[in-house]
Amino acid sequence: MAQDPGIGKKIIATITSVKGQCSAGHKTGDTFEISSYNPSELCGFFYHDIFPNLLTFQFGGTLPWWEGDTIELQCPDSYNLVTLKLERLDRK
C-alpha cells in the first residue's frame, strides 16, 4: 500500500447519517482520518465518488457552495444513503 506523505491539510471524516442499511457497514458516528492517498475505512464506492472533492479540499481549494473548513458529501447509493462530513485541519 502507498504511504501517505502527509502533505496538504489533515482531513477527518465523520459519518453523520445512514438512511437504510449501508452494505459496507458504516454507522452514524464512525470517525476516521482520510486523504487523497488513503481511503482509510471508507467504502470503495463512496471513496471513488468523492475523490475529486476530497483532493480539492485536502489541498486548500474550494468550490462556490462550500463554506469554511467543513463539507458534507453523500454516498452514491441513494436507497441506503450515507452522509459524510469532512473537516479540514492544519497539520501539526
27-86 pLDDT tens trace: 999 999 999 999 999 999 999 999 999 999 999 999 999 999 999 999 999 999 999 999
Question: Residue 21 has which C-alpha cell?
Answer: 442499511
The pLDDT-based confidence of 4 (bands split at 50, 70, 90) is confident
Q: CB within 8 A of 15, min separation 6: which ones?
A: 26, 27, 28, 29, 30, 31, 82, 83, 84
Domain-embedded: residue 1: no
**For residue 74, what are the domain limits?**
10-89
Per DSSP, helices labelled H in 4-82 are 44-58
The pTM (predicted TM-score) of the whole model is: 0.92
Judge whether 3 lies within some domain. Answer: no
Residue-wise pLDDT tens digits, 10-25: 999 999 999 999 999 9
Q: Please give the pLDDT value at position 6.
A: 84
Number of domains within the chain: 1
